[in-house]
Amino acid sequence: MSILYLIRHTEPALRGVFLGSTDPGLSEQGRADAARLLAGLEVAAVYTSPLRRARETASAIPTPQPPVVLPELREMGFGDWEGLTWAEIEAGYPEIAQRKIHAWMAVTPPGGETWQEVAARAAAALAIIRRGPFPAAAVAHMVINSALAQQVNGADPLTFSQKYGEVIRCEL
């Protein structure tokens, strides 16, 4: 059985907003957490999102090869909502925000990515990762990891939750 660890990046320097493709690095706490949480992880390969917060987290994992950057692992693009808090989204986009609350995956932020686009990227990343070697780690983000978990073990993306730096072990 092949093991894949889905890892959410640790705490970014910018929090409380929809980050999406916004590219902050890690906070000081995030760097310390990455070192503490991931230094003992034993993997043969690390795959990472191209976004800085994920790459910095991935660099804390000891591996025989440098992490492989997979563009497919980048976070969902939130379009016009990037950098905004939910309160700002509700104030600026009240109708769309209300629809989003009731049909989270069916409503796309203006200028953003659809869930189907994210799921397709996750499938493409998974196809690359399945080539091995194993065990492997994928360091990415909440939404893309929810799509990966759905494809790997049937996790419901609407109830999927992953804390900063949390490692979820999956069998492929």
Render pLDDT for 66-87 as a digit per residue (tens, 0 to 9).
999 999 999 999 999 999 999 9
Given the residues 9, 56, 72, 82, the one annotated as active site: 9
Q: What Rg value do the Cα atoms of the chain yield, rounded?
A: 16
Q: Is the pLDDT confidence value at 1 over 90?
A: no
CA pair distance 116, 10, nearest whole angstrom: 26
Determine what percent of the chain is predicted with pLDDT higher than 90: 98
Predicted TM-score (pTM) of the model is 0.95
Task: Answer yes or no: 9 catalytic.
Answer: yes
Residue 103 burial (10 A CB sphere; 0-12, 13-18, 19+) = exposed
Render pLDDT for 27-81 as a digit per residue (tens, 0 to 9).
999 999 999 999 999 999 999 999 999 999 999 999 989 999 999 999 999 999 9
Residue with more model confidence, 91 or 64: 91
Q: Is the pLDDT confidence value at 122 over 90?
A: yes
Q: Is the pLDDT confidence value at 109 over 90?
A: yes
Q: Which domains does the chain have, with CATH numbers?
A: 3-171 (3.40.50.1240)
Given the residues 11, 56, 72, 75, the one annotated as active site: 75
Task: State residue 105 phi and psi, 5-degree precision.
Answer: -85, -15
Lookup: tokens for 45: 């390969």
* Mean pLDDT value across the chain: 97
CA pair distance 21, 19, nearest whole angstrom: 6
CA pair distance 49, 154, nearest whole angstrom: 22
* Across 137-163, average pLDDT: 97
DSSP 8-state symbol, 26:
B
